[in-house]
Amino acid sequence: MARQDDKFTMEAVVVEALPNAMFKVRLPNEQKTEILAYVSGKMRKHFIRILPGDTVTVEMSPYDLTKGRITFRGR
């Protein structure tokens, strides 16, 4: 069973909005890696809008570093 400690949390920038509440997100590392991220359930429930250019907080599993979950939208 996954614990909260097992997730990587980092700030990222939304590059592109895709269908079905999916987003292409650029991580702030040296390679400028882009991952596929989806919106968490609470953000979907409260109709929080995410646009390209927004800074978001992304959680990633150590098992699959190509996908993530957007948990917070910053400024």
Q: What is the pLDDT of residues 11-69, one digit of tens each?
A: 999 999 999 999 999 999 888 899 999 999 999 999 999 999 999 999 999 999 999 99
**The predicted structure's pLDDT at residue 53:** 95
**Residue for token digits 């700030």?**
11
Residue 4, pLDDT > 80, answer: no
Q: How many C-beta atoms lie closer than 10 Å to residue 54's C-beta?
A: 17
**Tokens encoding 26:** 């650029």
Cβ–Cβ < 8 Å for 60, 6:
no
Phi, psi angles (nearest 5°) of residue 21: 60, 35
The kind and range of the H/E element at 42 are: helix 41-45
